[in-house]
Every structure is written in C-alpha cells, then in structure tokens.
C-alpha cells in the first residue's frame, strides 16, 4: 500500500492529484473573429475614364474567452479567495465642501444683488460658509471615524478569512481523488469527502 492509496479501497491505480485533474480538465477557449468590409465607388476624370476605388474600410476584431471544464473539474475547483474590502474614500468630504461653496456662493450673490453691495455679498458668503463648515464638520468627522472603524473591522475579518483561505488552498493542493470510489482525501488521513 503506497502513501497515496485511497483510504476507502486501499488502492492507488485510479488515484490522481486533485490539482492535476483540475488543470487537465479545464481549458480556456479563445475565439478570434475578424471582419473586413470596404465600399467601392467610382472616380471620374476629365478625360471620361472612370476607375473603381475603395472609399470606405471597416475592420473589426472580436476576442471571446470562456472556460471549458469537465463536471469533475468543476466539483474539484480550488477554493475562492475572499474579497478585500474597499478602503473608504474622501469623495463625500470633497463633494460636501464643494456643495457648501456653491450654495454659499449663490447666497452671497443674492445678497450682493439685493443690497447692491459687494462687501455685504462677500461678508454673507464668508459667514454662511463658516456656519455650514462649523455645523457639518463634526458630523462628517464622526461619519469618517465610523467608516474607518468599519473598514478596520472588515480588514481584520478579511485577514482572518485570507488565512483560512490559505489553509484551504494548501489542503486542496495536498488532496488526491480516487476515481474508483469518487472521494477526495489527503494522504495519511482517514477522512474522505465524497465528490
């Protein structure tokens, strides 16, 4: 009995490494399509002779890829990696600031026009901008802190999931499949997974 013998039947003649089955029974098919089209017209010269010429060329190329797998290769697929969380961006901060500037700019222009005083318009712009920034900054800071805390928790979960994924992937690379019994196993262990 060899080291890779199936724990169910004790034989190794129909035993194959899972990663080799997956690789051998999976292929990527690429299809390339090329079309060429040209339109013809006539060119007349002053000596009443005409000639054909191509006036319009249209080339198009299409590439299509798809994966072809056997049913067994699909069932023996390696584990999928976890998805990394997206880092929070400051776009809302900049968008909020620009919105404040636009709104207060309009208020400043209305005051300027209503009282016919540029100084009052500028003072209104500065006062309203200061008010909105003072009012919204603590809220935005709290929201940013909450986003950062949520991202940190998601990142910690991702790191734990990544470690578990690495362990599953290592076991997948160590696994063998017995075609006679339809089980996947790691040599040296009596545990089998029916496939």
- Nearest alpha-carbon partner for 161 in 89, 58, 96, 84: 84
Asked, for residue 176, whether it belongs to a domain, the answer is yes
- How would you write the pLDDT of the chain (195 residues) with one tens digit per residue? 578 899 999 898 999 999 999 999 988 777 777 666 655 555 555 555 555 554 556 667 777 778 888 999 999 999 999 999 988 776 556 677 777 778 888 888 888 888 888 888 788 888 887 887 777 777 777 888 888 899 999 999 999 999 999 999 999 999 999 999 999 999 988 888 888
Q: How are strands ordered across the β-sheet holding 176-178?
A: 15-17, 176-178, 183-185, 192-194
Asked, for residue 192, whether it belongs to a domain, the answer is yes
* Domain carrying residue 116: 1-24+67-79+88-195
DSSP state of 45: -
Backbone angles phi, psi at 68, to 5 degrees: -110, 130
pTM summary value: 0.57
* Cβ-contact 78, 164 below 8 angstroms: no
Asked, for residue 127, whether it belongs to a domain, the answer is yes
Asked, for residue 153, whether it belongs to a domain, the answer is yes
Rounded Cα distance, 74 and 70, in Å = 6
Asked, for residue 44, whether it belongs to a domain, the answer is no
- Residue 135 token pair: 């009012």
- Residue 97 token pair: 């600031």
Asked, for residue 7, whether it belongs to a domain, the answer is yes
Asked, for residue 38, whether it belongs to a domain, the answer is no
Asked, for residue 32, whether it belongs to a domain, the answer is no
For the chain, what is the domain count?
Answer: 1
């Amino acid at each position: 009995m060899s080291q890779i013998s199936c724990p169910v039947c004790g034989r190794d003649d129909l035993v194959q490494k899972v990663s080799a089955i997956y690789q051998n029974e999976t292929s990527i098919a690429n299809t390339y399509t090329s079309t060429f089209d040209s339109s013809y017209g006539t060119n007349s010269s002053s000596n009443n002779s005409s000639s054909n010429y191509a006036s319009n060329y249209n080339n198009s190329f299409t590439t299509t890829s798809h994966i072809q797998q056997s049913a067994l290769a699909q069932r023996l697929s390696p584990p999928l990696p976890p998805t990394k969380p997206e880092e929070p961006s400051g776009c809302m901060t900049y968008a909020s600031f620009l919105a404040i500037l636009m709104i207060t700019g309009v208020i400043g222009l209305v005051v300027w026009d209503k009282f016919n005083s540029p100084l009052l318009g500028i003072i209104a712009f500065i006062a309203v901008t200061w008010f909105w920034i003072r009012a919204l900054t603590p809220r935005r800071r709290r929201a940013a802190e909450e986003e950062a805390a949520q991202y940190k928790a998601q990142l910690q979960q991702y790191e734990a999931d990544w470690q578990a994924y690495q362990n599953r992937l290592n076991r997948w690379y160590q696994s063998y499949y017995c075609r006679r019994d339809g089980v996947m196993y790691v040599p040296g262990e009596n545990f089998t997974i029916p496939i």
